Structure 1
Amino acid sequence: MAPKITVIGTGYLGATHAAAMAELGFDVLGLDVVPEKVESLSHGKVPMYEPGLEELLRKHVAGIEGSSGRLRFTTSFEEAGEFGDVHFICVNTPQKHGEYACDMSYVESAFTSLAPQLRRPALVVGKSTVPVGSAARLAELLVELAPAGSDVELAWNPEFLREGFAVEDTLHPDRIVVGVAGERAEKVLREVYATPIGEGTPFVVADYPTAELVKTAANSFLATKISFINAMAEVCEAADGDVAKLAEAIGHDDRIGKKFLRAGVGFGGGCLPKDIRAFMARAGELGVDQALTFLREVDSINMRRRSHMVELARESVGGSFLGQRVAVLGATFKPDSDDVRDSPALNVAGQIHLQGGQVTVYDPKGMDNARRLYPTLAYAPTALDACRGAHVVLHLTEWREFRELDPAELGDVVAAQRILDGRNALDAGTWRAAGWTYRAMGRPRA
């Protein structure tokens, strides 16, 4: 008989995981402490934009016509404990205010609320990104608080979701990593993930610390690669080189690869920045902070790119933003998402606004979230409206919609045909041929 699954925490990670588990054929109960979120999900509506997620949710949520009925939602830990055989913990682990360290309060709360309800053998599976060493401590906490005692086991199964591809990454992951302390936990997880394993997805079995380190190590490597090419962009600007050609050339080396070698305003979002900072903080606690000092420079390079874009924009309008209209195309930290957390685009827009620029922002999906975070900026309903009367246009999120803009049509509404490509994603030749002054980080001026 297939195990019944609960998913504790139904934000971006949890909602996706719950819907995917139902798609794989399991009966699933999602839990969240926010009643409004549970109510929304119970009607097949997701609180964020993620391609394909709402359709998948509606395919399985009980009560929706034509659904499988395999997925329900609740606010009750008692109901979750009674229902589930496998409990996935998918709550948030944000950065602590004023510190680099990870805030474990949501994870701690999930464990202390769930454990007293576990009265029979069960497997609790952590998916949240936590500091190394957390799993061993939480495993002891489960045994201490659960009525079933040592019959409740813990596994750690880090998530590797890319926003914009979360459904695909959950149903068809490039690898599954599990940190376990015994064979029973491994056997259960092999059953849960039988479909992707059968499709050929590698299943990596490790101990707790290694499984915890995989996510932060992977994110640190990607952040380092992004900051490396952005550092090369700084050198290219000083030496009059072309970072795009440089990236193309080194990307042909199989040891390096082409991915994550596009220079620009850097990375943001809810994972990479906070994960590398939490990794540094934990390394310090373990007494090996020198091993990760390079991540401080990775973080510094990343933040420096935002300030550099502001400098380029100021220079393009004559040295001062006062009286200048600035169009910002993009608000989310990446395309195919409505996530504006630590968004380079909004950070740049905010800096320019504080320096006196009249900033108007447009984004295909992130407008509502951007307004909540930056209410003093102006927002437009279309890219064309955002650019109307602008003295400079900043392309800061690489949405397909922006790559397909007509430079001639845009040129008719701006006050000056100047565009700064903060993502190195536009066709420089096309824009210049239409009469625009085009500039991108690490690229020759003409």
Structure 2
Amino acid sequence: MKVIILVNLLLIITSMLQNCLTVYSQSEPLAKLWNVTDNEVITLLELERNLTMVDGLLQPILEEYNTSFGGSYINVLMNRIFVYTVDPTKIDIIKSRMESYFHFFNFTNATNSLVALRNSFNGVYEQAQKLKPLMVFCFIDIEFNNVGLFLYKYYDNSNREFLDAIQKYNVTLHYLNKSHPIQSDADEYNIIAKDIKTPIIGVHNDDNITVRDIKLPILGGEGIYNLDDHLACSAGFGAKRKDKEDYFIITAGHCTKTKYNTIFKLYSWNENTTGPTIGFMLRHQIEPIDIGAIFIGSDKYKVSMLIRNTDTIQNKELTTYDVSVSSSYGTHLCKSGRTTHVTCGYVKGLNGFFTDNKKQFNGQLIFTNIFGGKGDSGGPGFSYKQDLRIVSLNSITIAVVNSAGVQLHILLPIEPMEQFLRNDNLEIILANNTSH
């Protein structure tokens, strides 16, 4: 009897150890997204890369027959590309042109063509710019073959003119909750501040903020704290002037509400106190894009091409090698931020828009289902390359909504930032273009 009990005990312990090993083997954010072990992620990355290539070849055909198809969506776990099909008679055209890749396609019946989707979205977009509704979020939802509009019941009366104007477009309405959105504990949307545009000029250094030997790197996703407005945000990526040794952290513009020279301190993950002063926010804006530049005036810090990922077992720092553009729906996108650290999700919408609680309009946005929270704003969005150490910089977080079972993580792509960077002769710090 004792032997049987001992054997059963050993079996229980073995099972517990196996469960622990399974958990630990899923420490990578992408492994958690795809629900596979860390060792399986590389294979799926290669599958996704191949599907993205095939989808890139498919896109011109879908554009040519944009009244017959409603777009495409990648499902890496199924190793398939779902092609939303309005007119099945055109499937043979894709087969004749892409015969060697035809086995990747899953043709799914759809009602709305690309032309219909874009017409509806453009109509909603124009009305939103004209009428400035309160806190609405909108993008073409390829997976569900319609325009998705996310909004709060609380603002229905204020938004009545807008809602009446877009009724003819037959968009899918998703109500986030019935309470006041700013008072709701479920809603994690960061309230956006007033738009202030202050050009970057020479910085007056004092005893506390001096440009000398810079030491500690500020990683993308690391926490930063606005001392003047008492706001927690995240560092996005490093940038420098092309013509001199001035360095900056790019983050979200709404991370400051103060007009001039907001002081930022380091506010590391899992810490309850702030570190030394980093520098000043010297230029920021909310419209048409939400972006800001913090001048690093401290001798304690330097910019970095690295992104913080310290919750994982092995790849605790990710190297930003280059810049990428999201072009396929359903591909992975990840972010690093102070509050929820590194999490991943899927690209759900491209070129979407939202309006904030001050009726300010933001467009050209990526919508994902990445999990995030307050304090993640400004942190970098990225995609993994050929392994789990090298990534492509893609965007920065500007808004997060977790409400009524809906999870929206909204990011500003690099492309709309380029003019902001060019205006001040700034370049992004990347592994393939600098030794800093």
Under a length normalisation based on structure 1, what TM-score does the superposition of the two structures give? 0.26
Under a length normalisation based on structure 2, what TM-score does the superposition of the two structures give? 0.26
Higher strand content, 1 or 2: 2
By relative contact order (CA 8 Å, sep 6+), the higher-ranking structure is 2
